[in-house]
């Protein structure tokens, strides 16, 4: 609503028309049908001109108005080059500036602007209403205008004749003028009050009409969403938003419908729009986070954290923030959010379970065990919590408790093969080898054994020193998984135990090429090469081993024998001596042999120094 249809009011209406669907302008004067002075604009008879910036501003707001002003008789002129300017009776020098102003009368300028505003779609009803009010209430309005005129005119006359009057008469005239100004203010206040009274029913009726038209659209969309008929909700919501684009709730509903249709980008846009219109709409933040969960869990976490700020007593936003951070790989931050959610809802099963899960990822198995036990205290039959507890116990190397927990779980879920495998691993570490084999038999019943299952059987046979069964089983494991260097290394070790040194040397050499930093592989390889009497290769393997760990006494003994067999007498003597220094008579037979060979080799060197 704009009060006053002069140039300021008309331009305000034109500006508002860009953002408002309806603009109402009210004016107490009777507006002339043709350019001419009117009582409400007393300065309209004076000379008027638009400065250059004013011309530009009006033409920007009402495109083409500049040409209309010139066509209506306005004079376009360079403000410095075509106009004479006097300063203290001195003519300033004319100069072209490119700043074009327009000389035009005030009535014609207002009349042209009013015609342009009347042509705006949002102002059409306004001016029609204004014309109707002039016709229906013209006499009453004219009477009020004449009353104002009668008050003002005598004041103006007496003011003109006031020169030379006595002080008392001047004072009375001033008092009269004060009362007249007060009367005018009073009449203006009455006018505004009456205007509001007249407008209120109209505005209320207009709002109710709009509500009656739009409310069914919201109801129709809500009914469709309740039935999960998201496609049917789109059209009424889009129609509603076309009428009320700045209402946050329909944008939220539209985002919800898009999410139900898996149109994630559209849903993201609508939830974001709802948040922009109503930043405190917690549900919009929550649903935006859910939409972003798959594609951008970090951004989803930020949305959930905004919702948590708006709902400080609710645990759900913090839980969802933790879950998003967990998906983003930020486990420590996720644990912090889960703990915050538990502070609000300490008996929430889902939160205890999630916190235990991320604590396992951060290698905090003892605290993870506590959280899984807390989850089981809330929901005793929870399979995920029982599995999580077994994982925590295995990580803590509490193999007995882990075995019992998994046994209890497998009573309810006998077909869970990974759980059978985990229990077999626990039993293996408890040296309950037959029970471990039985557990693997249960896991593989009716199915093709996995490479991991075959490999574990081989490890169990190794622990039982059943070397032939171990070799057969590990050979199958290597065939099933050729890139498993650990299984191949175990097979090489078994070949050494079975005295198949050539096979052991071959497979351990391949494993060493794939994993040159493995100390255990190099030890077995050096041993296999030595026992296979490949002394140069054995020395090379021991040289590689010496780069990874300091040689022990036994290593020097084997090295000494290799040098001895290769007739490298001086190096053999030195190696035997280092063995004796490190062994300190802990191995009597090897000490005797080392001393005997040192004496023999030293004697040979004395007899023939060239045989070093």
Spans of all domains in the chain: 2-75+107-204
The Cα–Cα gap between 217 and 240 comes to 6
How much is the average pLDDT of 363-375?
96
Partners of residue 102 on adjacent β-strands: 50, 76
Contact 17, 23 (CB under 8 A): yes
Between residues 139 and 362, which one has the greater pLDDT? 362
Residue 54 phi/psi, 5-degree rounding, is -65, -40
Residue 198 — very low, low, confident or very high, per pLDDT cuts 50/70/90?
A: low
Within a 13 Å sphere around the CA of 149, how many CA atoms are in the beta-carbon half? 12
> Do residues 62 and 39 touch, judged by C-beta distance below 8 A?
no
Average pLDDT, the chain: 85
> How far apart are the C-alpha atoms of 583 and 569, rounded to whole Å?
21
The pLDDT value recorded for residue 208 is 60
pLDDT band at 34 (very low <50, low <70, confident <90, very high): confident
Distance of alpha carbon 538 from alpha carbon 527, whole angstroms: 7
CB 66 within 8 A of CB 58: yes
For 517-540, what is each residue's pLDDT tens digit? 999 999 999 999 999 999 999 999
Per-residue pLDDT band for 143 (boundaries 50, 70, 90) equals: very low
Question: Tell me, what's the pLDDT at 127?
Answer: 44
- Mean per-residue pLDDT, 537-550: 94
pLDDT, residue 179, reads 61
Least confident of 107-116, 227-236, 317-326, 456-465: 107-116
Which stretch, 17-21, 95-99, 496-500, 600-604, has highest mean pLDDT? 496-500
Q: Does the structure show a pLDDT above 90 at 153? A: no
Higher pLDDT, 40 or 339: 339
> At how many degrees (to 10) do helices 485-497 and 451-463 cross?
30
In angstroms, the CA 320 to CA 459 distance is 43
Question: Which has more confidence, 186 or 375?
Answer: 375
Which range among 6-20, 163-177, 423-437 shows the weakest confidence by mean pLDDT? 163-177
**Which of 410, 469, 470 has its CA nearest to residue 442?**
410
Average pLDDT of the residues in 33-49: 80
Angle at 334 between CA 329 and CA 337, to 5 degrees: 160
| 144 pLDDT more than 70 | no
Task: State both tokens at 30.
Answer: 């009777």
| First and final C-alpha spacing in the chain | 115
SS3 track for 129-184: HHHHHHHHCHHHHHHHHHHHHHHHHHHHHHHHCCCCCCHHHHHHHHHHHHHHHHHH
Task: Write down how long the chain is.
Answer: 612
* 124 vs 252, higher pLDDT: 252
For 49, 85, 92, 96, 503, the CA distances from 89, given in Å and listed in that order, are 21, 9, 9, 21, 120
Q: Which two tokens stand for residue 312?
A: 């400080």
Label residue 206 by pLDDT band (50, 70, 90). low
Please report which confidence band the pLDDT of residue 181 belongs to, taking 50, 70 and 90 as the band edges. low
More confident residue, 190 or 495: 495
Of 5-9, 37-41, 238-242, 560-564, the least confident: 37-41
Which secondary structure element, helix H or strand E, spans residue 2, and what is its range?
Answer: strand 2-3
CA separation for the pair 402, 89 (Å, rounded)? 107
pLDDT number for residue 544: 94
Backbone angles phi, psi at 324, to 5 degrees: -65, -45
Nearest CA to 430 among 397, 391, 393, 383?
A: 397
pLDDT tens-place string over residues 53-74: 888 899 889 999 889 888 988 8
Q: What whole-number distance in Å separates Cα of residue 560 and Cα of residue 553?
A: 11
- Residue 75, strand partner residues: 103
**Which residues are CB-contacts of 578 (< 8 A; sequence separation ≥ 6)?**
551, 556
DSSP states along 313-340: T-SHHHHHHHHHHHHTT-HHHHHHHHHH
């Amino acid at each position: 609503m704009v009060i006053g249809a002069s140039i300021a009011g008309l331009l305000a209406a034109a500006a508002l028309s860009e953002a408002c669907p309806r603009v109402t302008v009210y004016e107490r004067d009777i507006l002339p049908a043709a350019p001419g002075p009117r009582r409400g604009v007393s300065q309209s008879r004076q000379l008027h001109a638009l400065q250059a910036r004013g011309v530009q501003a009006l033409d920007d707001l009402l495109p083409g108005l500049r040409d209309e002003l010139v066509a209506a008789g306005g004079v376009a002129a360079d403000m410095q080059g075509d106009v004479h300017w006097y300063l203290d009776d001195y003519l300033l020098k004319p100069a072209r500036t490119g700043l074009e102003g327009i000389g035009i009368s005030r009535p014609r300028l207002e009349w042209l602007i009013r015609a342009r505003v009347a042509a705006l779609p949002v102002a059409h009803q306004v001016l029609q209403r204004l014309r109707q009010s002039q016709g229906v209430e013209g006499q009453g309005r004219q009477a009020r205008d004449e009353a104002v005129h009668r008050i003002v005119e005598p004041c103006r006359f007496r003011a003109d004749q006031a020169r030379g009057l006595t002080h008392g008469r001047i004072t009375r005239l001033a008092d009269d003028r004060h009362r007249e100004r007060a009367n005018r203010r009073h009449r203006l206040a009455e006018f505004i009050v009456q205007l509001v009274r007249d407008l209120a029913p109209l505005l209320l009726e207009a709002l109710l009409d709009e509500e009656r038209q739009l409310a069914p659209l919201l109801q129709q969309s809500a009914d469709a969403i309740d039935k999960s008929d998201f496609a049917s909700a789109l059209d009424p919501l889009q129609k509603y938003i076309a009428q009320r684009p700045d209402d946050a709730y329909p944008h939220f509903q539209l985002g919800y419908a898009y999410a139900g249709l898996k149109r994630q980008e559209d849903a993201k846009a609508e939830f974001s729009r709802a948040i922009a219109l109503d930043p405190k709409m917690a549900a919009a933040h929550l649903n935006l986070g859910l939409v972003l969960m798959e594609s951008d869990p970090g951004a989803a976490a930020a949305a959930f954290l905004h919702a948590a700020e708006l709902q400080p007593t609710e645990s759900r936003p913090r839980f969802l923030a933790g879950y998003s951070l967990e998906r983003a790989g930020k486990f420590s931050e996720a644990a912090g959010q889960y703990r915050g959610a538990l502070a609000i809802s300490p008996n929430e099963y889902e939160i205890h379970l999630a916190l235990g899960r991320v604590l396992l990822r951060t290698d905090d198995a003892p605290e993870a065990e506590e959280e899984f036990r807390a989850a089981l205290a809330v929901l005793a039959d929870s399979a995920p919590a029982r599995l999580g507890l077994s994982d925590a116990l295995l990580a803590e190397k509490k193999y007995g408790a882990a075995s019992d927990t998994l046994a209890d779980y497998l009573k309810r879920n006998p077909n869970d093969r990974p759980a059978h495998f985990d229990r077999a691993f626990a039993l293996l570490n408890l040296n309950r080898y037959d029970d471990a084999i039985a557990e693997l038999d249960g896991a593989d019943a009716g199915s093709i054994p996995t490479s991991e299952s075959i490999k574990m059987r081989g490890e169990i046979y190794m622990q039982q020193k059943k070397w032939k069964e171990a070799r057969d089983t590990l050979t199958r494991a290597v065939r099933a998984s050729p890139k498993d260097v650990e299984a191949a290394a175990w097979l090489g070790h078994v070949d050494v135990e079975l005295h198949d040194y050539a096979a052991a040397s071959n497979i351990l050499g391949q494993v060493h090429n794939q994993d040159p930093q493995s100390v255990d592989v190099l030890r077995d390889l050096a041993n296999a090469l030595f026992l296979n009497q490949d002394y140069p290769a054995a020395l090379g393997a021991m040289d590689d081993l010496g780069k990874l760990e300091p040689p022990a006494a036994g290593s020097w003994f084997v090295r000494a024998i290799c040098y001895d067999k290769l007739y490298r007498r001086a190096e053999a003597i030195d190696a035997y001596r280092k063995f004796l220094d490190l062994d300190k008579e802990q191995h009597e037979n090897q000490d005797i042999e080392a001393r005997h060979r040192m004496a023999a080799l030293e004697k040979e060197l004395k007899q023939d120094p060239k045989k070093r």
